[in-house]
Amino acid sequence: MELLTLVTFSPLLGILVILFIRSEQKEVIRWVALITSILTLALSILVFLRFDPTNPDLQLMVNIPWIEVSDFQISYQLGVDGISIMLLMLTAILTPIAILSSWTAIQDEVKNYMLFFLLLEIGMVGVFLALDLFLFYIFWEFSLIPMYFLIGVWGGPRRIYAAIKFFLYTMAGSILMLLAILWLGLEGRHFSLPALLETSASIPQNIQLWLFLAFAIAFAIKVPMWPFHSWLPDAHVEAPTAGSVILAGVLLKMGAYGFVRFNLTLFPHAAVRLAPWMAVLAIIGIIYGAILSFAQRDMKKLVAYSSISHMGFVILGMFAINFYGVQGSILQMVNHGLSTGALFLLVGFVYERRHTRDMSQFGGLWKIMPIYGVLTLVVTLSSMALPGLNGFVGEFSILLGAFESKVLGSYWFGGVAALGVILAAVYLLTMFQKVFLGPVTHDENKSLKDLNVREIICLVPLLIFIFWIGVYPRPFFNLMAPAAEKLVTALQAAAMAVH
Amino acid sequence: MRPPRQEDSSFLGLLINIIFGRRLGERFVSLVACSAVGLAFLVAVLQFLALQGHPEGATVHIAEWITIADLSVPWALKIDTLSATMMLMVTGVSTLIHIYAVGYMHEDVRFQGDPGRYPRFFIYFNLFVAAMMILVSADNYLMMFVGWEGVGLCSYLLIGFWYEKGEDGIGNAIAGKKAFVTNRIGDFGFLVAMFLIFGAVGSLQFEDVFHWAETNGLANVGVITAITLFLLLGATGKSAQLPLYVWLPDAMAGPTPVSALIHAATMVTAGIYMIARSAPLYSVADTSSYVAALIGAVTAFYAATIAVGQFDIKKVLAYSTISQLGYMLAAVGIGAYVAGMFHLVTHAFFKALLFLSSGSVIQGIEHGHHDSEHGHAGGEPFDPQDMRNMGGLRTRMPITFWVYLIGALALSGIPPLAGFFSKDEILADASLENTIVYILLAAAAFLTAFYMGRQILMVFFGKQRSEAAKHARENRPVMTVPLMILAGLAFVGGGLNLPGIHSLTSWLEHTIAHIHVTEFNVMVSVVSVALALLAIGAAWLLYGRVTMAKGDRDPLRSILGPIFIGMENKWWVDELYSALILNPYKRLSRALVVGEGEENEGSEFWEHFVHEIVIGKGYRALAEFMDLTVDLGFIDAFFNSMAGVTAWIAQRLRKLQSGYVRNYALSVFVGVVLILGYFIITAR
Amino acid sequence: MTIDLAIFIGLALISILTAISMLLSRDAVYSALFLVLNFLAVATLYLLLHAAFIAMVQITVYAGAIMVLFLFVIMLLGPSRDKLGGPFRWQLPVAVILGLGLIAEMALMLTARSDALPAGAAGLGEVFGSPASVGKLLFSEYLVPFEVTSILLLVAMVGAIILTHRGKQKGL
Amino acid sequence: MNVPTSYLIGLSGILFSLGVLGVLIRRNTIVIFMSIELMLNAANLAFISFARMMAPAVDALRGQVIVFFIIAVAAAEVAVGLALIVAIFRNKETVNIDEVNSLQG
Amino acid sequence: MSSQDFIHSIPFLIVVVSASLLLVIDLFIRSTRKTVTAILAAMALTGALVAGIITYGSGGRAFSGMLIHDGFSSFLQLAILVAGLIAIAQAYDYIRRRGIERGEYYTLLLFSISGMMLMASAGDLIVIFVALELLSIPLYILSGFARPQPESEESAMKYFLLGAFASSFLVYGIALVFGTTGTTQLDGIMQPLQTTWTLKPLFLAGAGLILVGLGFKVAAVPFHMWTPDVYQGAPSSVTSFMSVGAKIGGFAALLRILLAAFPHAASAWVPVTAWLSALTMVWGNIAAIAQTNIKRMLAYSSIAHAGYILMAVPATANPAIASEAVNSALFYLAAYGITNLGAWGVVLAMERADGSGLEINDYAGLARRKPTLALAMALFMLSLTGVPPSIGFVGKFFLFRAVVDAEIVWLAIVGVVTSVVSAYFYLRIIVMMYMAEGEFDAGGEPVLNSTIGLTALATLLFGVIPGPLLAIVGQSGLLNMLP
């Protein structure tokens, strides 16, 4: 059996096993889910080992005819390149962590919870590996459902509103993409991305523009870019911790990945022409998210808005359309997954103890929970792009890319976006101050227990990567560089043609 | 040459302390921390010696860091005379302050009531030294930026070291945040400068950049001016210059060793170092240099005026630091890089000395307060840093007094102490290069001497104005010995670059091109010494004499400032001839304090009103406005209202579904008529 | 004006007037009777249009059987008078306007191409429209619809029984 | 009889429209039902007229055959319809269609 | 009656004959043993199904062209038969629970099924008319089957009156078409159109009226208003069958008439059907939002889905993609049928003997008490929304593809936007079941549950592996029928 198929559907194994466990045996179910996700991680590592980082092309391809109707063909086509492997690894790493983090937080309907989680993993991995647009769309939409349930069943008080909002927004965007996918399939009677790439150049310019927009709206909502972001705070606030981790860590990346994988490759001309507009939206998102983060009292909401800001960097980077921007953008996807994922974990840990996320209910926690304080500090610093930690490498590359971008053509993009770095410090440090510094003002907080071993285990892998990418990101750049350079070269050729 | 890396040792100490600190107790922690820094100093000395043979320096490549296309930034260390100077200074002063801190923090954690936090202090301290080493030994701008932000982080952590203390329990934490955020504004400048550099040069390596500046500089003056101006913005943040100086006074919330090491001797000089490092760029961009000089000079003068009005012993020193940094910036601005670096080093000695001594004073007072409290139940809030609670400490703390005096005189520029030489070199340069700068600096020099005189007089002379002062006692040798060493350095530090010998100049010449040697200017020296003496005399007239004469003085005297003086006829004559000049100054400094008549140090107009209220509150209000009105009220509401409109239509449609068959039939009929109508139109 | 046309106009007027009368009679019995008249008028037209068999069917089945059934039910349920209008008065004018609209549309269509609908050829034999000719078609080509129609009647019968059969339930 | 087929179709159209109007404006279910019969009757007239127009073509007779089916189907409808009217009358004691509106929204 | 006639109509004949027989046999079955009637009816349908499979795709005409036997009719007849089997299984438990168990139920069901099958294979307008009545009249009766319950009678009355009203339009339309083309045979109609008869207004009026009559049957806006009331008032098992069977029958006739008889009038009916489709999708999906009764909600959902299927109709006008468009409509009909029958199955399971349990609020907390049932319902709802991996998604995918291919992009956009709207009310069911607390419990009858299970399985399976079904549909395109 093909390796990529195995990776994608390995969670099914766990699902099948869990289905036959009685729902009272929560502990067993948790272990099965955890082991399954670790198995997926192991398989992903195997993919990583088989992957040839010097090759810019798609590798380990699986291509099986799937639906064949008289005049056209849909194939089950998977593949991995330097860009998707990073996100594959991110997903594979974050899922076990998320499962582990919900060990005690989720006590109701553990069986269903774990089922949905493993289903979600299938969807996410599938999105990053699928090469046939039809297949991609299926995974894309499919990933919605488990997340919808995770928010709606195990979420906070307004979970239903948030879940529906999440579902409707994402679906509204993606269904336009479906039309664009259909359009693309008309000509060649297939939906295979590698084959479409060869013919897409012949699409008339104005149609390219429309197709680009149809894809872009789907991805922009998912990312989310301003002004399509308003589902995100609600979804994050109401989602259970693990859901938030996955949502921020992986699901948002699906949008950004979509931009890289489809918008930039299929419609290079449109991408080049619209790049300044996308960049403007991205920058508005950066500043806007940062300002709104600052106004929040709820920690999770703060982190949610910070996601909008951070994902703005990701989008800005890719539409800088140069090596620095695109590579930084891809790295930043991973970075954001690690840092924001970790932040959500941290918020979740304290929520589990105190059942509130209102920052005014805290203060002086550092004294009571020193380990928690230090870990949060590190993650916070990573999130605000302190040099030496992962966030800086990504954001610096992106800003450099935006600044030097010939396609954007103005220093203003990079310059204004860099202001986001200042604002990030403002809201993140404010949060840190309100929660961890100052005297302990609430008596309930005095008896809080510091992180336990399980919780620390959740964070350690993330912290390792936070430091690793911050200090020695070279392996990561090496992994994606050939693929990214191939992409950028094609785009720059398009830029030459457009200008 | 074996690659010597100071970071190794401080990182090692850091790691050991992080891992074992909690279990192994203060003794071990302090030992590890001090020996780590000491080792770093040793390595720095070895490097210094090695450089004697190879003054052109060397670059140590450790690893690749960020490599994207033609952007290649390594982790690499640059060892040359400039960085070696900084390393020596930093590690040297650090070692002394570490040792001092062993004693100081031992007491401090007990006063503040959390002995468990002792190891954490040294972790931060070591981290700071490591970051500072990265900063000074970086061989490219980006790596320098790593250290640059790293020291900022440590500064943040150390200012907020007693994060549950301060105003409303949160004051220290807020001060830390303020420092970090203000620095970030500077860092923004630094970032943009880097982008511009990369855009122009295609590299961030110092070597490449400077080479480019030398070969293509004249053709790219515009770009270089932009680059240097943005770098200058970075420097004003880190080195607390106008308009970003505001964080530094608040940063005094950190423990005194922190103020001494980070906020006086080392970190704040990073901006000066960076500009000195970027000399090849600045020497091309005349405009930027001019702006830098002007900012430096204005800051020097401005901060000095404020220092005159302060009562907090550390605040005076803080403003003094800002003022002195202004000197250095002015120096590098007018092209006197060596003079700037020279003053940087000597300032490190005597300002560290002053801060540490003030810490000694504070702790002495705290001891006194503690002792005097025995037998008294409770006690009103007591500020051990308020100079009005001091007085007459000369006798209670003799060692501290003497070293403090040396530091103060050095700062005031009294020969033959270190400050005299370094400051004079700047003034001499300024007198040649830029008259406005010279006048501002000279005026600042006068004020410097005045406020230092005022401080000495208020703290060490006169009567003990509080019980605490009466019970104050001298500290342990672990604190006083470093003070004495520093005092010695402050005394002889001028020897580094004596007029006529210029050892530092020739040393730095290997690294910084375009150095011009400024010869000793007798005229300038005489004027500045005269000004200093005059100022000290004035201070003595104001404070020294009155204190002694009046004895038990109302501590609220200065609340009313000049008005009070006006009411008190006793000194009217005394004040008249000496305060003719002083009153406007005092008024000026007081005018910058929010809330006339209220002694609220540290809440100057600029930083309190503009920064806290206009910017801080305004930003918060903006954020909340955007959150509630724009995001929820507009964007969210827009999308929600689409759902709302749909639901509304749904209700309308529901009404249409009336249940009456005839209505339904009518609906069918409407369809019929419409379709037939359409067909008729089509068929025609 | 030919005699044919005169007869046509006479029958047309009768059928229209009876239809309108049916529409406007308050009493359902009158409505039913007017409808019978209408059917008879139309049956006469059928006869004149060489559809003798259908005319007979019209009279026996439609005007006869069906309308008797109607009258029977009307009598069964007792007299009921209703006024036009009802809970929603707006329907009447709207319906009339739309009805006129439909008539106008029909007129437009008919006049759009005057040559489209000529009069039938003269001199048709008796064979056309005779029961024999119709019956032959019914049982050859139209076998399927014919059988289905018979089934339909069966179903209708079953349905009528089911819908009105009182069974064990209490009813009228 | 030999008149232009348009006249006949016109008559049929008017009768059809009157039938539609009857459905729309009458409240008595039985009369509504009769109006539907009128509509069917109008259709029948159209078939017969067209058949006459096409005669003597072979296909023309089909029109008359169709009318036969329509009458038969109408009979079936009437059976079911009247049964329904009776059933509802038993429940509601009314033949007013406007009173049959418990299902709505 | 030749053997050819027999071969080409055997499934229909089996159903209609056995229905007539069953009518008689049922008289001899005691009222406590109506299970036998159900089983006999199911056997009849199974027999027809087998016959249909055996004769599948062998093209031909029967009874002087009155019946057409081709892939299109075969496919739809099989679909109707499967739906009929499910309808019997669903009714079996349900009518007993509601206390309306009578043998005639199954008989009438068979008659209605035979009418639908006739619709699918009709080759003459008059057959379509007769078939429509054969389809409808049993449904009118079945709607009133829960007599003397007023809602049931009311729904029957409404359905009947409006149905008769609409079929009058159909008849008049047939008359006009006959008058302008001289024939009612579908391919005969096309001949004069191909040659001299261009877009005559009278002919167009006839076509328009036929469109109205069939639009009523498939519940297209503005001919849809009977749907919610009838669906609500009729016994749920009848509604379940009606919502699928009548729709299949209506679309079978509509597609065949428009493609076989009126292709040359496409320029006229393409915009009309496109607008009808758009209006239907918008109205159906939006009005469903405000519903609190699950039957009404599903009624509007069925209106909306008629709109989706209608999207394919204008696309068929382009000869190059007519086959693709028809295939997509057929597939969607099958997808909709499976999913919708499943969803109604859950409604049936939830309904109690007294007719309660039909409010959406009654579904609150179902997932905790009946997890499997809730899971199935969630799957159906997602499939109706068109979320992968479900048959509903595949169906929408191919529909949209056809529409985009026909370059009626605006219609496709209306389609996708209303899909999003539809998510809102479908999700509400899921929200209720999974995210709300409630007490209401459902019964569990094995036969009914097995239909739910089967349809759920099919919904998921064909969502993941739609290939086989697509292949069957691919061979059933309307083009096979054309000479």
The answer, yes or no, to whether residue B498 has pLDDT greater than 50, is: yes
Q: Do chains D and E touch (3 or more CB pairs under 8 A)?
A: yes
* Confidence at residue C172, expressed as pLDDT on a 0 to 100 scale: 38
Mean residue pLDDT of chain A comes to: 89
The pLDDT assigned to B213 comes to 87
Which range has the worst mean pLDDT, B29-38, B294-303, C140-149, E403-412?
B29-38
- Of E353 and A389, more confident: A389
pLDDT digits (tens, 9 = 90+) for C63-98: 888 888 899 888 888 777 666 666 778 888 899 999
Q: Looking at residues E189-210, what average pLDDT do you find? A: 75
Give the percent of chain B with pLDDT over 70.
82
User: Which of the pair, B404 or E172, is modelled with greater confidence?
Assistant: E172
- Model confidence band, residue A174 (pLDDT cutoffs 50, 70, 90): confident
Query: Which pLDDT score is estimated for B684?
Result: 65
Query: How far apart are alpha carbons D99 and B592 in whole angstroms?
Result: 85
Of A141, A168, A179, the CB nearest to E400: A179
What value does the mean pLDDT take over residues B276-289?
87
What value does the mean pLDDT take over residues D77-97? 89
Q: What percent of chain B clears pLDDT 90, i.e. is strictly above it? A: 4
Residue B514 is predicted with a pLDDT of: 65
Which residue in C8, C117, C121 is closest to D56 by CB distance?
Answer: C121
Q: For chain B, what is the mean pLDDT? A: 77
Residue D27, chain E, CB below 8 Å: the answer is no
The fraction of chain E above a pLDDT of 70, given in percent, is 97
Instruction: Say what the pLDDT of residue B442 is.
Output: 87
D100 in contact with chain B, both atoms CB, cutoff 8 A: yes
Query: Of all residues in chain A, what percent carry a pLDDT higher than 90?
Result: 44
Q: Each residue of D9-40: pLDDT tens digit?
A: 999 999 999 999 999 988 889 999 999 999 99
Residues of D with Cβ-Cβ distance to B658 under 8 angstroms: 101, 104
What band does B568 get if pLDDT is binned at 50, 70 and 90?
very low
Contact B195 A294 (CB under 8 A): no
Which among E201, E223, E229 is the nearest to B668, CB-wise? E223
Specify which residues A72 forms β-bridges with.
A69
pTM, whole model, 2 decimals?
0.88
pLDDT at C1 over 90: no
Per-residue confidence band for B511, with pLDDT thresholds at 50, 70 and 90 = confident
Whether C137 has its CB under 8 Å from any CB of chain E: the answer is: no
pLDDT of E48 reads 95
Which of A181-195, B379-393, C108-122 has the highest average model confidence (pLDDT)? A181-195
* Nearest-by-Cβ selection for A295 from B70, B624, B635: B624
Cα–Cα distance, E388 to A132 (Å, whole number): 15
Chain A: closest CA distance from residue B479 (Å) = 28
Assess contact for E125 and E132: CB atoms under 8 A: no
Q: Which residues contact B92 (CB under 8 A, 6 or more apart)?
A: B41, B44
Q: Do E272 and B653 touch (CB under 8 A)?
A: no
Of the candidate ranges B382-396, B654-668, E65-79, E187-201, the one whose mean pLDDT is the lowest: E187-201
How close, in Å, is residue C149 to chain D by CA atoms? 7
Q: Distance between CA A40 and CA A37 in Å, rounded?
A: 5
The whole-number pLDDT of residue B571 equals 30
Interface residue C49 vs chain D (CB under 8 A): yes
HEC string of chain E equals: CCHHHHHHHHHHHHHHHHHHHHHHHHHHCCHHHCHHHHHHHHHHHHHHHHHHHHCCCCCEEECCCCEEECHHHHHHHHHHHHHHHHHHHHHHHHHHHHCCCCHHHHHHHHHHHHHHHHHHHECEHHHHHHHHHHHHHHHHHHHHHHCCCHHHHHHHHHHHHHHHHHHHHHHHHHHHHHHHHCCCEHHHHHHHHHCCCCCCHHHHHHHHHHHHHHHHHHCCCCCCCHHHHHHHHCCHHHHHHHHHHHHHHHHHHHHHHHHHHCHHHHHHHHHHHHHHHHHHHHHHHHHHHCCCEHHHHHHHHHHHHHHHHHHHHHHCCCHHHHHHHHHHHHHHHHHHHHHHHHHHHHHHHHCCCCCCCCEHHHHCCHHHHCHHHHHHHHHHHHHHHCCCCCHHHHHHHHHHHHHHHCCCHHHHHHHHHHHHHHHHHHHHHHHHHHHCCCCCCCCCCHHHHHHHHHHHHHHHHHHHCCHHHHHHHHCCCHHHCCC
Complex prediction ipTM: 0.89
In 3D space, the residue among C78, C69, C71, C54 whose CA is nearest the CA of residue C138 turns out to be C54
Bin C167: left if φ > 0, else alpha if -120 < ψ < 50, else beta.
Answer: left
Query: Do B680 and C109 count as a contact with CB atoms less than 8 A apart?
Result: yes
CB A394 within 8 A of CB A331: yes
Summarised one tens digit per residue, pLDDT across range A149-164 is: 999 889 888 888 888 8
CB < 8 Å to B149, chain A:
386-388, 392
Q: Please state, in angstroms and rounded to a whole number, the distance separating the CA atoms of residues B288 and B269.
A: 19
Mean pLDDT of E364-391: 90
Query: Per-residue pLDDT tens for C104-118?
Result: 988 888 887 656 677
Name the band, by pLDDT with cuts 50, 70 and 90, for residue B603. very low
Q: Rounded distance, CA B484 to CA A95, Å?
A: 59
* Mean confidence (pLDDT) of chain D: 89
Q: Does B675 touch chain E (CB under 8 A)?
A: yes
> Strand pairing partners for B58?
B79
Q: How confident is the model at residue B11 (pLDDT cuts 50, 70, 90)?
A: low
Q: Indicate if the pLDDT at residue B574 is higher than 50.
A: no
Any idea which of B603-607, E301-305, E355-359, E393-397 has the lowest mean pLDDT?
A: B603-607
pLDDT of residue B545: 61
pLDDT at E96 (0 to 100) = 87
pLDDT exceeds cutoff 80 at D62: yes
* pLDDT computed for residue B613 by the predictor: 60
The minimum CA-CA distance between C80 and chain D, rounded to whole Å, is 8
| pLDDT 10s digits, E286-317 | 999 889 999 999 999 999 999 999 999 999 88
B664 to chain D, minimum CA–CA distance in Å?
Answer: 9
What are the angstrom distances between the C-alpha of E216 and each of A402, C102, E161? 59, 19, 12
Give the number of C-alpha atoms closer than 13 A to the C-alpha of residue E445, restricted to the C-beta side.
20
- For the segment B348-382, what is each residue's pLDDT rounded down to a tens digit? 888 888 888 888 888 888 877 777 766 454 455 67
Position A108 scores a pLDDT of: 85
Distance CA C38, CA D13 (A): 14
Mean pLDDT of A456-479: 91
pLDDT band at E119 (very low <50, low <70, confident <90, very high): very high
Band of pLDDT at residue E193, cut at 50, 70 and 90: low
Q: A419 CB near a chain B CB, below 8 Å?
A: yes
Instruction: Please state the separation of Cα C132 from the chain's center in Å.
Output: 24
Question: Mean pLDDT over residues E359-387, rounded?
Answer: 91
Is the model's pLDDT at E330 over the cut of 70?
yes
Q: Which of B659-668, E55-64, E179-188 has the lowest mean pLDDT?
A: E55-64
